[in-house]
Amino acid sequence: MPFKSITKAQHEAFLLSVRSGQYNLLLGAGTSLDTSNPIGPIPSGTELRHNLCDFKKVSRNYTLQRAFGLLTPSEIDEQVTHRLIHCKPGKTSTALSGFLWKRIFTWNIDDVLENTYKAQTVRQEVKSIHYNDEFVEFQTLAELMIVHMQCSASL
C-alpha cells in the first residue's frame, strides 16, 4: 500500500512512533551541505575529492579514499581535519535535532551533528562513536548515539 493511502489510524500510529523516538536515522553528505566553519562552506564529498586530487596533483578520477590515502598525517590535518571541524550547524541538521531518534548513523566525518546538539536546547545528549567502537545500548532516549560509519584517524 502506498504511504499516501494509509488510514488515519495508521497515520496517527506513525506520528506517535516518530515523536516517541522509535526510529533510527541514516544520514549522508547532504546533511552537511548547508553548514560552514571558520574556513567557509563545508565541501561536498566530490569537492573534497577534487581538492585532495588537485593538492596531490593526481587525476580527479581517484576515489576519495584513494586520494585520502596519499596524504601524510600533517596533510590530513591541513586538508581534511581543519576543513571539517568546528562546523556551524545549518538548517538541515538543526531541523533533524528537533526529533527524538533511537540512533543516528552518519557517513559524514565532520562534527556538524555534535555541534548541532551543543548549539541549542535539545532533548537528547549526544554520545558519538565510530563504527568500529564497542557497541553499547543506551537504556533511555535521553542519550543519542551518533554512529560515524566512516573512520578517520584525525576526526
| Phi, psi at 41, each rounded to 5° | -60, 145
For the chain, which residues make up each domain, given as ranges?
Answer: 23-38+89-148, 43-83
Per-residue pLDDT of the chain (155 residues; tens, 9 = 90+): 677 788 999 989 988 998 888 899 999 878 899 999 999 999 998 999 999 999 999 999 999 999 999 999 999 999 999 999 999 999 999 999 989 999 999 998 899 999 999 987 888 999 998 888 887 887 788 999 999 987 554 34
Q: Which grid coordinates are listed for 153?
A: 584517524
Give me the pLDDT at residue 5, please.
84
**pLDDT for the residue numbered 153:** 42
What single DSSP character describes residue 7? Answer: -
pLDDT at 119: 80
β-strands 24-27, 40-41 pairing:
unpaired
3-state secondary structure of 62: coil
pLDDT at 64: 92
> 78, 39 in Cβ contact below 8 A?
no
Residues with Cβ within 8 Å of residue 110, at least 6 apart in sequence: 32, 35, 42, 84, 85, 87, 155
* pTM for the whole structure: 0.81
User: 81 with 153: CB under 8 angstroms?
Assistant: no
Q: Do the bridges between strand 40-41 and strand 36-37 make them parallel or antiparallel, or are there none, so unpaired? A: antiparallel
Residue 155 pLDDT: 43
E strand or H helix at 97: none
